[in-house]
Structure 1
Amino acid sequence: MLIYLVTLIGFLGTLLIIPYFKSLLVESNIVRKNYKGDLIPVSIGIVFLPMLIVNSSIVRYFYKDNQIYIYLFGIIAMAFIGIIDDLIGNRDVSGLKGHFKSLFKGRLTTGGFKALFGGFVALFISVSISNSIIDIIINTLLIALFTNLINLLDLRPGRAIKGYILISLIILFSVSLYYQKILIMLLFSNVLAYFKEDLKAKAMMGDAGSNVLGISLGIIVAGNFLFITRVIILILLIIVHIITEKYSLTKIIENNKILNYIDMLGR
């Protein structure tokens, strides 16, 4: 019953507050040109947070499990650095490789700061949920790479959210504990409420949103999957990141009929 309650509250609550946040961002001139060249509100991913906190309070009342604090810490921390990158981000450097090259040359980009900060956040969470050094290493990488994965997808309307929804559903049906299913729905319902705005290019969730989506997936996977499963997922994430450092993800999707159909669906 609780999972339906938080899903309903998250969806309807987020749907209700989206217009207010859009107006706030436009009035504050927090806008950016999308891939079509249209000026739209950016960093609207912050709209995921209010109902997430409300629903987390409800869940904490019924479940005295401190894992929710770790979950919230990761999400709020990455939303914070995401907002910074959205507002003052360096757009002349791209990719993890590019940001770390700049860092080694003595220039800190917002992307480099985000990578370092996100890595430290992932490390803290991993230390909190892991039982061994090898677990800490694997979970840190999982959380960090999941966070960046959704960021990589967030280049066209709806693409990142489609990826998030697919992975979330796989996780939802893979975890056995009811509590973990509730944790997934805390954010999932908020994202569904916002989905149309992103799909129709009426707003950009920015790093403030993609960071939140990515780290939420990473935390759930790191804390609930068997060792061998996590290793396999980590290898897949590393392969994806290596490929996207060398080739354009957008071009890969556009050149594949199935991926391109899914990518264009609903736009």
Structure 2
Amino acid sequence: MVVPFFWIAAGVLLRLYFPWQALSLLMLMMAFGFAGMIDDFLGNRAQSGLRGHWRALRSGELTTGAFKAIFGGAAAFAFAIFVARFMDNGNLAVLVMNALIVALSANAVNLFDLRPGRAGKVFVFGLAALFLVAFSPERITLMFPILAALLGYLPFDMSAKAMMGDTGSNVLGAALGACAVFTLSPLAGLILLLLLIGLHVTAEFTSLNKIIENSVVLKAIDRWGRKE
């Protein structure tokens, strides 16, 4: 009985205190969830990485990964255009930066979704980091319903009884990117964007799995709670 009342209360609070943020976040999550679902159900792993999908696209093949990137990029720009109407920093450079943060955040969480529970942990740690550096930390409460749902789901993911797939990891990453747009100053947003670009470049040439496995701390965090 507690869960339905929690979601009703969360919805009312979001609607009353963060109306445009809640609306834009919901639409963004639906868009990225759809793109991820297409990749989950129709995709294959013949092509991987941004370079692989780009090569396939140049040869005339639209992979589900390329579709996800194009559709997700369009959704991210639509989101950035919408929220620019309500934010003080609505110039073109900030708009493009916000769109890239959302798109790259969605893909970043997806990049880590190679082991049970890993994508969820990335979301939790990312949210904690945003809270520490946020210019408007009160807006992080937008993430509480998502965080609550994730914490309820994670035990099943870490025990390999369920798998979020691209659908779930894309939604989490897009939500995290949106939270960054809502809470970070332009300078902090630029730093985050550079970090995301660096992560994607690294992932194109190096295995993130190997980086995690070769780090004592990252390996311990990655394996915590997971049933091998």
TM-score normalised to structure 1 length: 0.77
1:142 equivalent in alignment to 2:96: no
How far apart are the structure 2 equivalents of 1:98 and 1:64?
Answer: 40
Partner of 1:26: none
Taking the aligned partners of 2:18 and 2:140, their CA distance within structure 1 comes to 16
Counterpart check, 1:171 vs 2:130: yes
Counterpart in the other structure of 2:187: 228
Kindly indicate whether the alpha-carbon contact (under 8 Å) linking 2:106 and 2:177 is maintained by their aligned counterparts in 1: yes
| Deviation (angstroms), 1:128 | 1.6
Residue number in structure 1 paired with 2:64: 110
Whether the 8 Å contact between 2:36 and 2:166 is mirrored in structure 1 is yes
CA distance, structure 2, for counterparts of residue 226 and residue 62 of structure 1: 24
Structure 1 residue 227 displacement after superposition: 1.0
2:76–2:103: 8 Å Cα contact kept in structure 1? yes
CA distance in 2, matches of 1:256, 1:178: 31
2:217 alignment partner, SS class: helix
Structure 2 residue 3 is matched with structure 1 residue 9: yes
Give 2:60's aligned amino acid: G
- Structure 1, residues 177-215: CA drift from partner, whole Å, max 9, x if none? 575132010211100000101111111101110011000
List, as ranges, runs of 4+ consecutive aligned residues in structure 1 with deviation greater than 6 Å: none
The residue type paired with residue 66 of structure 1 is W
Q: Which amino acid aligns with 2:3?
A: I
CA distance in 1, matches of 2:137, 2:73: 29
- 1:76-155 aligned within 5 A: 76-130=30-84, 131-155=90-114
Give distance in 1, aligned partners of 2:27 and 2:72: 12
Q: Percent identity between the aligned chains? A: 38
Match of 1:205 among 157, 164, 174: 164
| Counterpart residue number, 2:87 | none
Deviation at 1:159, TM superposition (A): 0.9
Letter in 1 for 2:207: S
Unaligned stretches of 5+ residues in structure 1: 1-7, 14-50
Give unmatched runs, 5+ long, in structure 2. Answer: 85-89
Q: Compared with structure 1, are the counterparts of its residues 159 and 116 closer, same or farther at alpha carbon in structure 2 (3 Å cutoff)?
A: same
Query: How many equivalent pairs are there?
Result: 220
Alpha-carbon separation, structure 1, partners of 2:120 and 2:39: 19
Return the letter of the residue paired with 2:119. A
Contact 2:110 2:173 in 1 (8 A): yes
Q: Is the 1:9–1:55 Cα contact (8 Å) retained in structure 2?
A: no
Change (3 A) 1:174 1:66: same
- Give the CA RMSD over aligned residues: 2.0
TM-score by length of 2: 0.90
* Whole-Å separation in 2 of the counterparts to 1:165 and 1:61: 24
Q: Decide whether aligned partners of structure 1 residues 61 and 132 sit closer, same or farther in structure 2, where only a CA change above 3 A counts.
A: closer
Does the C-alpha gap of structure 1 residues 55 and 101 become closer, same or farther in structure 2, counting only changes over 3 Å? farther
